[in-house]
Amino acid sequence: MKILVAIKQVPSRDSQLKVSSSGRWMEDADLSAEINEPDAYALEEALQLKEKHGGEVVALCAGPARASQTIREALAKGADRAVHVEEEDLGRFDLLGVAQLLAKAAAEVKPDLILTGLQSDDLGYGQTGVILAELLGLPHSTIIMQVEKTEAGIRVKRELEDGWFQHMTMPLPAVLTIQSGINKLRYATLMGIKKAKTKEVKQLSADGLGVTAAPKVSLERVYMPQRAKQTTLLPGTAKEQAAKLAEILKFEVRVL
Amino acid sequence: MSVLVVMEQSRLAWHRMSWEALAAGQQMGPALGIPVAAAVLGHGAAALAGELGGKKLDKVYHVEHELLDHYTADAYTVALAELVDMAKPSMVLFPHTYRVRDFAPRLATRLGGLLVSDVLRIEVKDGAAVAVRQMFQGKLNADYRAAGGGTQYISIQAGAYRAEHVEAGSAEVEVLTPALEAAQIRIKVEEPFRESARAVDLTAADLIVSAGRGIKEQENLSLIQELAAAMGAEVAASRPICDNGWLPMDRQVGSSGQTVAPKVYFAVGISGAIQHLVGMKGSKCVVAINKDPNAPIFEVADYGIVGDLFEVVPALIEEIKKAKG
Ligand SMILES: Cc1cc2nc3c(=O)[nH]c(=O)nc-3n(C[C@H](O)[C@H](O)[C@H](O)COP(=O)(O)OP(=O)(O)OC[C@H]3O[C@@H](n4cnc5c(N)ncnc54)[C@H](O)[C@@H]3O)c2cc1C
Ligand SMILES: Nc1ncnc2c1ncn2[C@@H]1O[C@H](COP(=O)(O)O)[C@@H](O)[C@H]1O
């Protein structure tokens, strides 16, 4: 099975975000970056499927040159090769534009299965995989917690709300969006890191893929939200804060 | 020009978030000066369509087909594409449910549009709709505006609008039978199920101490357990803690875990992403301990301690023991 995994590089989770002077994005030049969390699970799922059924795992990433760090990490964990749609300013495309870049690049790879994360930690659209499926004319399912290969295709377990699940089957090729927690993540080995240096990373560009930015939706402004609720913040040292909270719990909330 | 609200039902029972999306629609219609319609899809859903007919709407579409008896993305996309082609709404609203996540991006793409997902509110500026949504897991907000002239597709975040604001009225119900064929449905679904019975029922707990990723290592969970023991509380967690296998899944609070409403909910090192908030917002009192003063959890907290949990929690355990005497 040839499996394509879409991985995105996002600012690290504990980044201190500052809106840039344009008011449309973050000052991200000096933020550290990491792989989008659900994408790490998607990659792991692809590696496990390959270990069971053979085939190849190809990582696909659209992003600036610095995203090559994340691509290298995927190769070090065991992806066989990668495709990097290098684009310094992905922000000039809307979500559909990015999905078009990924779809064009995916079409060249001709995978049997495409895995994406269910949602990106930065933009959080939760849509790219589904749009990709439509652009490629493939069946899809989302929020996947288990993937099994069958004679005719795949059988997956989809997470529903409130602790419910559902199994479904579909033919291949197909697109799945993977939920965090589907498996246990591996670490890259030293050997893996060494090998990664020799693996192929194919560079593509928006121009080369014939995708031009024509946003249907424009992101006008990014800003810190106004907090509506009046939280009583407890001042002082940790000890003072703790003492005050214990007092509140005892005399106001009355649970002690 | 109209607003179309796509309602959600399973086994002929409404998804509660449908009413929130409907409330959003009923506000947008007058704000934009255009009529409002709502649609329900299903098989044998006439009673639900009739119920919608008792709301303040200009039109109700009852999309009826036996292949809509249970949900598949393929069938919903075909059926709704036909409805949108016919009704030509300028704005389509959905509740941002797991099902809408599954099909709405596909539908919008097929119709040449783009969904703005998980929207907090829609403002009307110079006669045009501006959709406000969160980014970076609720740390930032962003305004989106349609760049072209086509239909706008927007899904509404849980709790963003209030179901009790839905206004009653009366509307004509039109039945539509989409041209849907079994061959168009590539996915075969099985019956929904729950994992083996939950070992813990957090919904009955009076006090809950919940740990998030701020706890850093599995070993540090003992700190949370100690706090819970001092309080006489149950231990719960955000999703990443359960994903890591540090606590069993049945301790997870949130949209894919349990929905709890204790007297006091301690959120320790939890950022407050919407999928977590929906599971604990109903708590009578929320106490948040987080080192980031901008963490969205403080939006729902009654009492907040901005600080390092590794300093605050040990001090708190001591103070609680003292207070209990
Ligand atoms: C479809 C879907 C379903 C989901 N279902 C759920 C669900 O049911 N439940 C759920 O919880 N999540 C769910 N999620 C995930 C959710 O979006 C968030 O990713 C998750 O809730 C984040 O968990 P967290 O707050 O523990 O971690 P983070 O967001 O990483 O937050 C950690 C927090 O700890 C703070 N911190 C760090 N160190 C310290 C310290 N020393 N002292 C004090 N504070 C510190 C940080 O400031 C930060 O605010 C779901 C996501 C999706 C897309
Ligand atoms: N620039 C990108 N490069 C590679 N994959 C991406 C990119 N953007 C989004 N994705 C994939 O799409 C998923 C969902 O992203 P989103 O729709 O932004 O929430 C992510 O988890 C990734 O797997």
Q: Please judge whether A160 and B192 are an interchain contact, meaning their C-beta atoms are less than 8 angstroms apart.
A: yes
Q: Does B29 touch chain A (CB under 8 A)?
A: no
| Residue B145 pLDDT level (bands cut at 50, 70, 90) | very high
Q: Which two tokens stand for residue A25?
A: 């994005």
Say yes or no: CB of residue A97 within 6 Å of ligand 2: no
Ligand 1 pocket test, candidate residues B203, B239, B255, B256, most atoms within 8 A of CB: B239
**Where is average pLDDT lowest: A46-55, A160-169, B41-50?**
A160-169
In whole angstroms, what is the distance from residue A13 CA to residue A37 CA?
Answer: 9
Average the pLDDT over B37-64 and give the result.
98
Q: Which atom number of ligand 2 is nearest to the Cα of residue A38?
A: 21
| Residue A226 pLDDT level (bands cut at 50, 70, 90) | confident
Q: Which atom number of ligand 1 is nearest to the Cα of residue B271?
A: 49
* Best B14, B98, B226 residue to mutate vs chain A (most A CBs within 10 Å): B98
* Minimal Cβ distance to A219: which of B144, B264, B315: B144
By C-alpha distance, the chain B residue nearest A248 is B303
Q: Please judge whether A141 and B144 are an interchain contact, meaning their C-beta atoms are less than 8 angstroms apart.
A: no
What DSSP string describes B228-273?
HHHHT-EEEE-HHHHHTTSS-GGGBBSTTSB----SEEEEES----
- Distance from Cα A8 to the centre of ligand 2, integer Å: 5
The pLDDT of residue A25 is 84
Which residue segments constitute the domains of chain A, with CATH numbers given? 2-209 (3.40.50.620)
Q: Which two tokens stand for residue B228?
A: 């819970």
pLDDT digits (tens, 9 = 90+) for B210-259: 999 999 999 999 999 999 999 999 999 999 999 999 999 899 999 999 99
List the residue whose alpha carbon is closest to atom 41 of ligand 1.
B308
Say yes or no: CB of residue A96 within 6 Å of ligand 2: no
The pLDDT of residue A228 is 74
CA end-to-end distance (rounded Å), chain B = 67
In whole angstroms, what is the distance from residue A159 CA to residue A76 CA?
Answer: 30
Q: What pTM value is reported for the model? A: 0.97
* Minimal Cβ distance to A217: which of B102, B114, B137: B114
Q: Please judge whether A246 and B138 are an interchain contact, meaning their C-beta atoms are less than 8 angstroms apart.
A: no
The pLDDT of residue B287 is 98
**Where is average pLDDT lowest: A118-127, B52-61, B196-205?**
B196-205
* Best A12, A95, A167, A231 residue to mutate vs chain B (most B CBs within 10 Å): A231
Q: Please judge whether B194 and A246 are an interchain contact, meaning their C-beta atoms are less than 8 angstroms apart.
A: no
The pLDDT of residue B136 is 92
Partner residues linked to A177 by β-bridges: A116
Average the pLDDT over B130-144 and give the result.
95
Q: What is the mean pLDDT of chain B?
A: 96
* Minimal Cβ distance to B304: which of A122, A124, A233: A233
In whole angstroms, what is the distance from residue B91 CA to residue B50 CA?
Answer: 23
List the residue whose alpha carbon is closest to atom 9 of ligand 1.
B254
CA A220 to chain centre: 23
Q: What is the mean pLDDT of chain A?
A: 95
The pLDDT of residue A27 is 84
The pLDDT of residue B148 is 83
Three-state secondary structure call for residue B215? helix
Kind and range of the H or E element at B324? helix B309-324
φ, ψ of residue B162 in degrees (nearest 5) = -105, 125
Q: Does B74 touch chain A (CB under 8 A)?
A: yes
Average the pLDDT over A51-75 and give the result.
98
In whole angstroms, what is the distance from residue B13 CA to residue B288 CA?
Answer: 35
What DSSP string describes B51-92?
HHTTBS-SEEEEEE-GGGSS--HHHHHHHHHHHHHHH--SEE
Which residue segments constitute the domains of chain B, with CATH numbers given? 3-190 (3.40.50.620), 196-324 (3.40.50.1220)
Say yes or no: CB of residue A192 within 6 Å of ligand 2: no
Checking if the pLDDT of A143 tops 80, the result is yes
| Residue B195 pLDDT level (bands cut at 50, 70, 90) | confident
Q: Is B171 left (phi over 0), alpha (psi -120 to 50) or beta?
A: beta
Q: Does B144 touch chain A (CB under 8 A)?
A: yes
Ligand nearest to the CA of A8: 2
pLDDT digits (tens, 9 = 90+) for B265-297: 999 999 999 999 999 999 999 999 999 998 999
More confident residue, B177 or B200: B177
User: What percent of chain A is modeled with pLDDT above 70?
Assistant: 100
- Distance from Cα A245 to the centre of ligand 1, integer Å: 23
Say yes or no: CB of residue A61 within 6 Å of ligand 2: yes
List the residue whose alpha carbon is closest to atom 29 of ligand 1.
B271
Q: Please judge whether B140 and A224 are an interchain contact, meaning their C-beta atoms are less than 8 angstroms apart.
A: yes
- Distance from Cα B280 to the centre of ligand 1, integer Å: 13
The pLDDT of residue A22 is 86
**Where is average pLDDT lowest: A8-22, B270-284, B300-314?**
A8-22
